[in-house]
Structure formats: C-alpha cells, structure tokens
Structure 1
Amino acid sequence: MSYRYINQLATPENINRFLEFVDLAAGAGNDTANVWEIERRLVNSLPMQLCVKALHAEPSSAQLIEERYIGAAYDLEAMGKMPKNSLGWTYSKIMTALGYDPQFYPQRTEFESDADYIGFRVDKTHDIHHILTGFSLDNLGELGVISVTVAQTRYPTFLLIDLLSLLLTFFTSDTLVSDVETDADLTKTLGYKFDLISQGINIGRNAKPLFPIKWEEGLERSLEDWRSELNIKPVLEGPWSWYSRPELQAAIA
C-alpha cells in the first residue's frame, strides 16, 4: 500500500521525540520556558538547518546574521515618549496596558551558531510583529503571528507549535466555529485555528522580509508607514485582533 512510507517515519526514536515535543508544546501556554526548551532541542535539527538556509538566501537577512545584531533593549518608558502612533509609542502603550515584560525572552550577547542567533532574534522581535500585524498578544492571536514568521523563515519552533496545536485540537475539539458562543471558546475549535494560521501565512507571504529589519533603529517611525513599506495588511477587527480589545483601544487613543 502507498501508506507504507509511514512505517519508515514512525520509528520508536521519532515517536518518542514527537511525544516529548507534544508534552512541551501542551504546557507552553502556562510556562514560556517550554518554548525556550523546544528551541534548544531544535537548534541543531534538520528543520533548523533549513531555516538557516532560507534566511541565508535572503541577502539582508544573511547580513544581519553575520553581524549578530542585537540592538538596544526595549525601554517602555522611553518608547512611550516617542511620537504618537509611531511603532515604538504603540508598542509601549500596548505592552504597558497588558502588563507585559518586553524582556520576556532569554537575554544573551553571545551565540554559538547562526541557528542560535536566529532563535534569539525571532524571540526579541516577536511582540513587535504582534503590533505590526494586529494579531492579539494572547492565545486568540498567537498562532496567527507565529505563522507570519513560519511563512517567511520556516522557523521550526513556531512551525512545530502550529502543527501540534492543530493536532491536539483535532483530538479535543467537539464544537464547530459556527456554534461557538464566546470568543474564549474559539481556541478550542479546529476551524478557528486553521483560519488563524492561514491568515498569518498569507500575511507573511505577501509582506517583505521582516527578519532583517533593525526595528530598534526605526521605532520612532509611524506604524502605518512601516506597514505600508512592508506590505502588511494588519488584522484590525475580529476576536484575534488586539484592536478589538477596548482597553487597548483606550491605551492608544
């Protein structure tokens, strides 16, 4: 049968590795350290090698990787004094309203490999991508924004989270999107996650490369100018948009 190839994939070693990643991904919503552990385990993997190859194929990204650019730490107080509606000002207002720490990711200044640096840079710019794309900074929008990164870089940690989220929802979902009564229940449906991932992938494919941009040096630029230049059509409405949150609308009013 044509399905015999599955036997070649489903080796005991691959099954055990898969189950370990399932366990880590399932707990990532409660402990972000699980995400860092997934990154650590994938840093020398074949999927990460493909990610490195894809980024090296884009000249600006290759240059950033070679430079090992870190940039200044995000200072919410200083960014809050930037011009209204600038990328930095908007980032500061949203992160402050949510009570989020801009230095949530592991802080480093030295890197063992290109793959190690790429993981650091993806982590540092992740919330900037939330602001740019409009995807909410919670479970309702998370799969969307990581799918933007997946579409542009093949970053394996985010790709794995996308895939495992679909798989886990496949086994647990008992509700159609059309039957959901509250936004909180949306994340439990398979259709919601398919739509969210698809929208993120489409935004990523249509946008110019985000990885090589030194956001730290362009925070005072208008958010709309950045979106226009990068061909990003943000999510401005619906449950997975941060624009739909009244407290965040008030923060940037």
Structure 2
Amino acid sequence: MFKKIKYIQLLLTNKNWEHLGDIAILKSELFGAKVSPAVAAKLQAVEGYHPPINLEILSQYPPGTLGREYANHMQINHLQPFNVSPALEEIAKHNVFALRYVVTHDIFHVLLGFDTSYAGEIGVLAVAVEQNYSQSLKIGLWIAQCLYPLLAPQQRGEIFANFKKGKELGKKADFLLSYRFEEHWKDSLANLRTSLSLPPV
C-alpha cells in the first residue's frame, strides 16, 4: 500500500514533460501490468534498455529510414518520445514490459503502417494482443472493440478492418516487443519490415 501511495504522489508531482516515460511507468506500477513467464523470458534481452530518443537528430536521417519516418510521425502528430529519467531507473528495470511497451508504441505505428486514429490504435493493440504481451492488453482490446465504433462511427469499417489486419500481422511477425529498434534508426524501414517478417505497407 505504501508503494502505491508513493507512486500516486510521484504521478501528481511529475512536471517533467521531457520524461513522459516516467508517467507511463508509474501508471503501470500503480495498476499492476503483468506478463506471463514466457513473455518475461523474451524480454530479458531488453531489460533496463531505454536509450534516449532525440527527434531532432532522427529527423536528419535519410527519408525511408526508421529514424526519419518515426521522427516525421511524432512531429506530424505533435507527440514526444517516452523517455525515462534516471530517477525511475530501478522501476523501469524490473517492469520491462511497461517500459518497452510505452517506448515502442509509436515505433509500432510507423513499423506497422497504422495511423493514430481510433482505427490505427486498435490495429496496434491487436498486434500486441496477438503476440500475447499481457492479459491487461486483452481486456483493453475488448473494451476498444466495444467503445471505438461508438466514439468514431465514421471509422467503424476501418476499425474492424484494422482489428483483423492487426491480428494477422501479430501472427506473422517476429516477437516485436523485444527488438532493439533504437539500434536500427538508420536502417531502411522497408528492409526492417522484411527482416521482422512483416509485409510491405
């Protein structure tokens, strides 16, 4: 109980928007996101791995590279990377799933070709669920299936299409959550998709 109170206090007092990852990690700790032993084993390769992401540098990479396309995606959608501060290093280290899921979420959008609409979000979520990342995401996908068509009725057809597409991509692709995307910013996005068993967008 004391730890949960501490996490709430940290959330309420966190004003450092340069480290949005801190907020996501604290929320995950508060609500107890858990993964299976099989998924935890796959994530050992990225335990404590969260190099800072600098959009200004990535935006200077050649068009078609992962880094440049990710930077474009973030800038167009007015988003910031989920960097984690040294103050939360210990929490990030033992909650590898929460760390990698929040850090790679927008990388997934770029990699998989889903935009940030309700339809795009359900596509990314369907991939995560198909790859069996966590039970909480399965519940989240069920809620999204019910809620998103009501929130965006004009996207209804695309929502259901992306749900199906995301499930198919999740089956075909390598286990994406343990991949060190940050070491491949300069790689061709098309080649990266091929190497991860993903079809061209």
Q: Within the alignment, does 1:98 sit opposite 2:64 as a pair? A: no
Measured at CA, do residues 151 and 139 of structure 1 come closer, stay the same or move farther in structure 2, by a change above 3 Å? same
Superposed CA RMSD in Å reads 2.8
SS at match of 2:60: coil
Query: What are the Cα deviations for residues 35-87 of structure 1, in whole angstroms up to 9, with x where unaligned?
Result: 974763233xxxx2xx23131454xx33323xx212x2211110011122100
Map 1:124-139 → 2, pairs under 5 A? 124-139=103-118
In the superposition, the TM-score normalised over structure 1's length comes to: 0.61
Shift of 1:121: 1.1
Shift of 1:120: 1.4
Query: What are the Cα deviations for residues 193-245 of structure 1, in whole angstroms up to 9, with x where unaligned?
Result: 443222111101100111111111111111011001011125x4xxxxxxxxx
Unpaired runs of at least 5, structure 1 = 1-32, 174-183, 237-253
Q: Is the 8 A contact 1:35 1:157 kept in 2?
A: no
Q: Is the 8 A contact 2:66 2:187 kept in 1?
A: yes
25, 32, 53: which one aligns with 2:37: 53
Q: Within the alignment, does 1:230 sit opposite 2:196 as a pair? A: yes
Query: What are the Cα deviations for residues 106-126 of structure 1, in whole angstroms up to 9, with x where unaligned?
Result: 654222774x22111110000
SS at match of 1:109: helix
Q: Within the alignment, does 1:186 sit opposite 2:166 as a pair? A: no
Q: Within the alignment, does 1:64 sit opposite 2:46 as a pair? A: yes
Aligned to 1:88: 67
- Structure 2 counterpart of 1:153, which letter? N
**Highest Rg: 1 or 2?**
1
SS at match of 2:178: coil
Q: Is the 8 A contact 2:25 2:91 kept in 1?
A: no
Q: Within the alignment, does 1:111 sit opposite 2:91 as a pair? A: yes
Measured at CA, do residues 150 and 98 of structure 1 come closer, stay the same or move farther in structure 2, by a change above 3 Å? same
Distance in structure 2 (CA, Å) of the matches to 1:82 and 1:34: 28
32, 40, 64: which one aligns with 1:42: 32
How many corresponding residue pairs? 177
Distance in structure 2 (CA, Å) of the matches to 1:160 and 1:36: 20
Q: Within the alignment, does 1:208 sit opposite 2:160 as a pair? A: no
Shift of 1:153: 3.2
Distance in structure 1 (CA, Å) of the matches to 2:49 and 2:135: 21
Q: Is the 8 A contact 1:88 1:220 kept in 2?
A: yes
Shift of 1:145: 0.5
Q: Is the 8 A contact 1:147 1:204 kept in 2?
A: yes
Identity of aligned residues (%): 25
Measured at CA, do residues 35 and 199 of structure 1 come closer, stay the same or move farther in structure 2, by a change above 3 Å? farther
In the superposition, the TM-score normalised over structure 2's length comes to: 0.74
Unpaired runs of at least 5, structure 2 = 1-22
Aligned to 1:78: 57
